Amino acid sequence: MKIEVMLFLPPNGNQRRMSYDIIDDSLSDKYKDMQKYECQLEMELLSTGVISITVSDLDKDLDIILVENHQKSIKIGIETLLKRAVWTDKKLETSNDCI
């Protein structure tokens, strides 16, 4: 199954759409469900070389995972976020507070 991810590139956050093949085809329904909730997957290469993958709606990031910068880790990270399915949690609250 192919899914789309919005990739933000350094140094100024230029955007590019990427396609990834997901190993676990059973996640197809979760990906379609995420899209129904107007959420998308976003990915950013951080200055440390680590990749940040998020599930975002129109206003905020709902879930995040950090992975190593290679294809296998990225695919596993995407699959992990899809399995969590946080976009269905109506009680989800996010905060802009720093810890």
Q: In Å, what is the CA distance from 69 to each residue of 5, 26, 39? A: 15, 25, 23
Residue 44 maps to a domain: yes
CB count in 10 Å sphere of residue 87: 22
Based on the structure, what is the number of domains in the chain?
Answer: 1
Residue with the bigger pLDDT between 34 and 12: it is: 34
Residue 48 maps to a domain: yes
Residue 98 maps to a domain: no
Residue 99 maps to a domain: no
Q: Model-level pTM?
A: 0.84
* Residue 63, both tokens: 């879930």
* Residue 86, both tokens: 């946080």
Residue with the bigger pLDDT between 44 and 93: it is: 44
Residue 12 maps to a domain: yes
Contacts of 66 (CB under 8 A, 6+ apart): 46, 50, 51, 52, 53, 77
Residue 59 maps to a domain: yes
Q: What is the DSSP letter of 52?
A: E
Residue 94 maps to a domain: no
Residue 9 maps to a domain: yes
pLDDT digits (tens, 9 = 90+) for 47-79: 899 999 999 998 899 999 999 999 999 999 999
pLDDT beyond 70 at 97: no
- Residue 64: give the domain boundaries: 2-88
